[in-house]
Structure 1
Amino acid sequence: MAQFETGRTAEYHRIFQQFAWNVPADFNFGFDVVDTWAADRTKLAVLSLSEDGEHAEHMSFFELSRLSDRFANVLVDLGLKKGDRVLIILHSIPQWYVAMIAMFKLGVVPMPGTVLLTAKDISYRVNRAEAAMVITDLDHVARVDEVARQCPTLKHKLVVGDKAPGWVDYEAAMAAAPARLERGCLGQVSPADPMLLYFTSGTTGQPKMVLHSHAYPLGHEVTARYVLGLKPTDLHWTISETGWAKAAWGKLFGQMLVGAAILQRKSASGFSPENTLKAMERYGVTTFCAPPTVYRMLIQQDLKAYNFTLRRCLSAGEPMNPEVIKAWRDGTGLDIYDFYGQTETVSLISNYEFMPLKYGSVGLPTPGHDMRVVDENGVELAPNEEGYIALYLGGQRPPGLMMEYWRDDEAMAASFRGDFYYTGDRAYRDEEGYFWFVGRNDDIIKSSGYRIGPFEVESVLLEHPAVAECAVVGAPDPNGVRGVVVKAFVVLAKGLAPSDELTKEIQDHVKTSTAPYKYPRIIEYRQTLPKTISGKILRRELRAEK
C-alpha cells in the first residue's frame, strides 16, 4: 500500500487495516440472508415499477422467502438438482428475484442473460454450459424454440407471464407446488460450491463463462457498505438490466445483505430520463447508481425542478466525464462517486465520502482487496507509471473473486499469474495512491454500460456477403450521448461500392444476427486495414484514427 497523508485519510486507513473477511463454513444466501430478513414480515425487499413508473408492486422479504420456497419446489418437481445450470432471461420483474433466490437455495446455478439475446446467443450459452433449463417470458419463447433441437442438454422450458405450447406455465406450476422448502433438501451447499454463472465478452473468442461460488455474495459487503454506503433504511436504484453482472452488484447481493430495499423498473422500450427522474422523486430513492450514459441524459433535464431525497450517487462501467459530474452537482447538490470492478469480481476500487474526491479517478482499493499496478512480471510500479491493474492474492483469497473462467484454461492462465489476478485493465496510481483508469488491455468496448467484444461483432459482420474484411473498435459518440459507440472499419467485397443503403443493410444484419446493442453505429469503408506481418489487424492504429 502506498503511504497517505494524515487527515481524512485516517478513516480509510483504519477501515482498510481492520477489515477481515468472514466466510462461514455453511452459507446459503437464500436461507441465511433473505429468510433472515423475512422474520420482519413488513420489511420491503423489492419495489418493481411499471415502465412509466405509475404503478408499483411491493414485495417484502417475507413474500420473497415464501415465493422462492414455492418455486424451488417447482424446480425439484421438474427434476432439477444441485449443480444444474439454468439460463434465465427476464426483464426487471419480481419473478426474476423469486427464481434467482429459489435456485440459490437449491444449489442450482442460474445463468442470467440479457433480454437482447438472439436465438444464436441462446444456443451458444445453453450448449457451452450444458444447461438443463431455460426460464424466460413470451418475448423469448420463439427464440428458444428456434434452437431447442440443437441443444441436447435442454430438458425444461418455463415461461413467465403467459402460456406457450410445450412450456411449463409459471403461474400454474406455482399454484400446484408445496408452499415450504426444507433447507438442504437436495444436499447442503458450501461456500466453495458453484452458485452463479455469467457470460462475459472477449476479443479473441466467444464469451467466457465466469463462475462464482456461494461465497460470492459475501464479497459484496464492501460494495454495499463502503462503495454504495447503504443502510437498512435505504431505497436503492441501480440502472441495469437483469442479465448483466451489474444487477448482482446493484440489484441483489449487497443490498439484501444490509437489508436495503431495491427499486427496479421494466423498461422494454428504452430509457426515459423524464420517467426516471419522476420515479426517483415519487418513490423516495436515497441511493442511485447508473452508467455515465444515463447521467449524460439526465442532466439534459431540469434537475432543480425535482424534490429528491437522494443522499449518494454513483457510477461505474466507463469513464465519467468531469463536466457531467459538475452539471449533476449543480442540479442536485450531490457529487457522483466513481468506482471500479468487473463481472469477475466485486468492487475493487472506489471513491469514498470520507476521502477527498479526485474527479477522473476511480479512487482507492476497497477493504479486503490489495490492489496494485504491476508490470507483466508482477513487479509493482512507481507512482504515475502505467501498468496492469492486479489483485494480490498472497494472503486470503477474497470471496468476491470468481472461482474460475469455467472450461477455459487459456483464459485462466492469462489472468492468474503467480500471486496476482490480472484484471486485464490498465491504470496508474498517483502519489497518494489513487487509481487512474487508462483502458482495457484487450479491446473490450464499453458503450452505454454494455461490454461489447469486437470479435463477436466482427464475426457477424463477416457473415454479410458484402463484407470482405472488418475491424471493430470503440469510438466517441458523435451525438455526445453514449460516450462510446461501436465503430466498424469495413473492406467491401470486390466490385462493391459504399452507399448509405449498404450501410443500413449491414447494420440491420448485425441487429438481427446478434444482440442489437452491438451493431456498429458508425461504419467507415476502407480499401485495406492496418495489419502486422503475420496478418493480425492492428486495432490500436484504428482507435488512434477515430
Structure 2
Amino acid sequence: MKTSDRSTIHKFLSILTLQTMCWTSGQRERSVEKNHQTQLFGGLPEWWLVNVACLRTGTVLIPGTSQLTARDILHRLCTSKAKCIITDDTLAPVLDSIAPECSFLKTKLLVSDRKREGWMDLGELSSMASSDHTCVETKSDDPMTIFFTSGTTGSPKMTQHSHCSFGIGLNVNGRYWLDLTERDVLWNTSDTGWAKTAWSSVFAAWVQGACVFVHHMPRFETKTVLETLANYPISTFCTAPTAYRMLVQEDLSRYRFQNLQHCLSAGEPINPEVMEKWKASTGLNIYEGYGQTETVLIAGTFKGMDIKPGSFGKPSPAYDVQVVDDAGKVVAPGTEGNLAIRVKPVKPFCLFTGYTDDPERTAQCYRGDFYLTGDRGIMDKDGYLWFVGRADDVILSAGYRIGPFEVENALIEHEAVAESAVVSSPDPVRGEIVKAFVVLNPTFKSHNHDQLIAELQRHVKKVTAPYKYPRKIEFVEQLPKTVSGKIRRVELRNKEWGRS
C-alpha cells in the first residue's frame, strides 16, 4: 500500500471482517465518532470504526463470526473474491493457512498489539490516516454490506444490502421497536458476525443518537450478564430467547436493575413462560421482534402495545405484512399461510437487494405481489402475527441459522457415515438443536455407538463452525425418501416434534 493511500484504510472493492472486535483483559473506554454520540465500554472499537470507514469509502463490508473454520472462511473468500481481510491474533494463523489459495486477497489487516509477518497493523494505519477525508458519493442502491446466510440446500448465500436498505432502513428498528433516544444506553448481545448487530449495535442506535454498550464475554455467562445489568447504566437490553431462558433459571431477586427500562428479544420465538418469569422478577416486559437478514424489522411488539404471549406483535411501519397462500393470495384472519411482505406496486426500500450473483435464488423469494419470508404464520383478527414454523428446513438454534446441508456435508466426510439427514429437534434452552439421523457404513455398525456419536460430533466441529454440530445423533438403517430418491426431512422433523 502506498503512503498516499493510507489516508483511508479501506480502498478495496470488497472487504471481509472476521471478529474485528479484538478484546483485551484490561478495561478501556473510548468514544467513537463523538458527533454521532456513540460510546463503547470494555472493548476495542475497531469493529465500529471498520463499519464507518467502509461507509465513507464505498467499500463493501462482509462480517463473519469468529467461530468459522478454515473451510468456512475459504468458501466465503472464494465466493466473494474479497480483496482485504481484517481479523485478530486468534484467526490470523487460520487465514495464513488458506491465503495461498486466494490469489485475489491483496491485503491482510491485523487488530493486535503485536506484529505479524505479512500483515499490516490496523492501529498503526489508523494513526497515520489524515483527518481530512471526503466521503465517496454512493447511490442509494449501491451495495453496502453482504451477510452470508444459511439455507436449506447448498452453501451459505450472500445476502446483499444497500446504503439505503440498511443504512436508512434500520431507522425503523431504532425508533419504533428499540424505542431509543439520546438518553439511552443499549446493550445488544449479538455476535458481530450476524446481521442482528447491524440491526441494533450500529445503525439503529446511531440514527437515534443512543449510546452502545459492549461487554467482552467469550461465552454467555448468566451471572456476568445479570451483574452487568445491575452495575452499569444500561436502559435497553436486547438478547436472544435462549439467553432469557438461561437468565430466569438464576435467582433474579439478588439483583437490582435500577436503570433497565426496556427489554427485547429476537432471533427465534420466545416462550410465554419465560416472559412471565422475567416480568415477575424484574417488573419488565419482553418485547419480541421478528425479521431476517434479508429485511429490517418485519414485525414486533412495540412499547405501549398490548402484549399477546406467543405472538411477535404487529407489522412494523416499514412493511405491509400479510399471510398468503402458495399462490400469493392473502388468506383470511386465523388461517395459516406464508408470512409475506407486499412488494408491488412498489418494492420497500429497506428490503435486501438480492442474493449476490444468484438471480435464480432471489427470484424464488417472490410470489405474485409478495416477498415470501420462508416462514409460516397466522394473523389474528386484531392484526397480531403468530409464528407457526419455517417453510424450509433451516434450523434456528439459540439464534443461529443452520442449514442442514452444511452439517450433512460435514458428516458424510467421515468414513463411518454412509448417509445422513439433519433436522431440528426441540430443546428447552435453545429452542431447537441440530439432530442428525445417520446411516452407518457396514464396517462401523458394530462399533460402540456412544463413542461413535462423540467422534462424529468432534469431526463436525473441526470441519465446520462448532455451533453447527449435531447435539443429537440417532443411527438408523435407512432414511425416508420420496419416489425420486429425495430425503423426506419433513417426516423426520415431524417425528422429533411429535407431529402426526
Same fold (TM over 0.5): yes
Task: Answer yes or no: is 1:62 the counterpart of 2:13.
Answer: no
Change (3 A) 1:49 1:118: closer
Task: Answer yes or no: is 1:360 the counterpart of 2:310.
Answer: yes
Report the alpha carbon displacement of residue 63 of structure 1 after superposing the two structures with TM: 8.2
User: Which of 212, 216, 226 is 1:277 aligned to?
Assistant: 226
Report the alpha carbon displacement of residue 504 of structure 1 after superposing the two structures with TM: 0.9
Aligned to 1:485, the other structure's residue is in SS state strand
Who is 1:166 aligned against?
A: 118
Report the alpha carbon displacement of residue 164 of structure 1 after superposing the two structures with TM: 1.3
Task: Answer yes or no: is 1:482 the counterpart of 2:435.
Answer: no
Q: Deviations over 1:218-273 (max 9, x none)?
A: 111111111111111100111101000010111111110000111112222x1111
Q: Could you tell me the percent identity over the aligned residues?
A: 46
Report the alpha carbon displacement of residue 66 of structure 1 after superposing the two structures with TM: 12
Partners in 1 of 2:311 and 2:84 — Cα distance?
42
Partners in 2 of 1:179 and 1:65 — Cα distance?
18
Task: Answer yes or no: is 1:458 the counterpart of 2:408.
Answer: yes
Partners in 2 of 1:179 and 1:465 — Cα distance?
57
Q: Deviations over 1:193-237 (max 9, x none)?
A: 110010000111110101100012211111111111111110011
Partners in 1 of 2:43 and 2:431 — Cα distance?
25
Partners in 2 of 1:288 and 1:126 — Cα distance?
34
Change (3 A) 1:157 1:253: same
Change (3 A) 1:180 1:281: farther
Q: Deviations over 1:159-208 (max 9, x none)?
A: 10132111111222223322331223xxx111111100100001111101
User: Which of 289, 301, 312 is 1:351 aligned to?
Assistant: 301
Task: Answer yes or no: is 1:177 the counterpart of 2:129.
Answer: yes
Task: Answer yes or no: is 1:135 the counterpart of 2:107.
Answer: no
Change (3 A) 1:494 1:501: same
Change (3 A) 1:64 1:383: closer
User: Which of 186, 194, 198 is 1:248 aligned to?
Assistant: 198
Give 1:530-541 correspondences, 5 Å limit: 530-541=480-491
Report the alpha carbon displacement of residue 521 of structure 1 after superposing the two structures with TM: 0.7
Amino acid at match of 1:506: L
Who is 1:527 aligned against?
A: 477
Aligned to 1:389, the other structure's residue is in SS state strand
Amino acid at match of 2:64: G
Give 1:37-436 correspondences, 5 Å limit: 55-62=27-34, 93-161=44-112, 162-184=114-136, 188-215=137-164, 216-268=166-218, 270-308=219-257, 309-436=259-386
Partners in 1 of 2:247 and 2:37 — Cα distance?
35
Partners in 2 of 1:466 and 1:525 — Cα distance?
11
Partners in 1 of 2:92 and 2:141 — Cα distance?
34
Report the alpha carbon displacement of residue 419 of structure 1 after superposing the two structures with TM: 2.2
Change (3 A) 1:365 1:64: closer
**How many pairs are equivalent?**
470
Aligned to 1:281, the other structure's residue is in SS state helix
Partners in 1 of 2:23 and 2:354 — Cα distance?
37
Report the alpha carbon displacement of residue 304 of structure 1 after superposing the two structures with TM: 2.3
Partners in 1 of 2:211 and 2:103 — Cα distance?
40
Q: Deviations over 1:46-73 (max 9, x none)?
A: xx99789x83523243288999xxxxxx
Report the alpha carbon displacement of residue 543 of structure 1 after superposing the two structures with TM: 1.0
Amino acid at match of 1:58: R
Partners in 2 of 1:284 and 1:398 — Cα distance?
36
Aligned to 2:442, the other structure's residue is in SS state coil
Report the alpha carbon displacement of residue 499 of structure 1 after superposing the two structures with TM: 1.6
Contact 2:60–2:144, Cα closer than 8 Å, also in 1: yes
Aligned to 1:265, the other structure's residue is in SS state coil
Partners in 2 of 1:56 and 1:314 — Cα distance?
27
Partners in 1 of 2:425 and 2:24 — Cα distance?
31
Partners in 1 of 2:38 and 2:478 — Cα distance?
61
Contact 2:29–2:43, Cα closer than 8 Å, also in 1: no
Moved more, 160-169 or 191-200: 160-169
Change (3 A) 1:50 1:332: farther
Contact 1:488–1:522, Cα closer than 8 Å, also in 2: yes
Partners in 1 of 2:303 and 2:389 — Cα distance?
25
Who is 2:16 aligned against?
A: none
User: Which of 438, 444, 448 is 1:496 aligned to?
Assistant: 444
Q: Could you tell me the TM-score, scaled by structure 1's length? A: 0.83
Who is 2:457 aligned against?
A: 507
Contact 1:51–1:267, Cα closer than 8 Å, also in 2: no
Partners in 2 of 1:177 and 1:118 — Cα distance?
32
Across the aligned residues of Structure 1 and Structure 2, the Cα RMSD in angstroms comes to: 2.1
Contact 1:384–1:428, Cα closer than 8 Å, also in 2: yes
Report the alpha carbon displacement of residue 495 of structure 1 after superposing the two structures with TM: 2.3
Partners in 2 of 1:436 and 1:119 — Cα distance?
39
Partners in 2 of 1:239 and 1:166 — Cα distance?
33
Amino acid at match of 1:474: S
Partners in 1 of 2:63 and 2:157 — Cα distance?
14
Report the alpha carbon displacement of residue 92 of structure 1 after superposing the two structures with TM: 6.7
Report the alpha carbon displacement of residue 411 of structure 1 after superposing the two structures with TM: 1.0
Contact 2:22–2:88, Cα closer than 8 Å, also in 1: no
Partners in 1 of 2:121 and 2:354 — Cα distance?
34
Who is 1:14 aligned against?
A: none
Change (3 A) 1:57 1:222: same
Aligned to 1:242, the other structure's residue is in SS state coil
Report the alpha carbon displacement of residue 306 of structure 1 after superposing the two structures with TM: 1.7
Partners in 2 of 1:55 and 1:93 — Cα distance?
9
Amino acid at match of 2:410: V
Amino acid at match of 1:487: K
Contact 1:469–1:491, Cα closer than 8 Å, also in 2: yes
Moved more, 520-529 or 406-415: 406-415
Partners in 2 of 1:279 and 1:511 — Cα distance?
31
Amino acid at match of 2:48: Y
Contact 2:32–2:45, Cα closer than 8 Å, also in 1: no
- Unpaired runs of at least 5, structure 2: 1-7, 9-20
Q: Could you tell me the TM-score, scaled by structure 2's length? A: 0.90
Amino acid at match of 2:263: C
Change (3 A) 1:64 1:163: farther
Contact 1:50–1:56, Cα closer than 8 Å, also in 2: no
Amino acid at match of 2:443: G
Change (3 A) 1:57 1:50: farther
Partners in 2 of 1:240 and 1:329 — Cα distance?
22
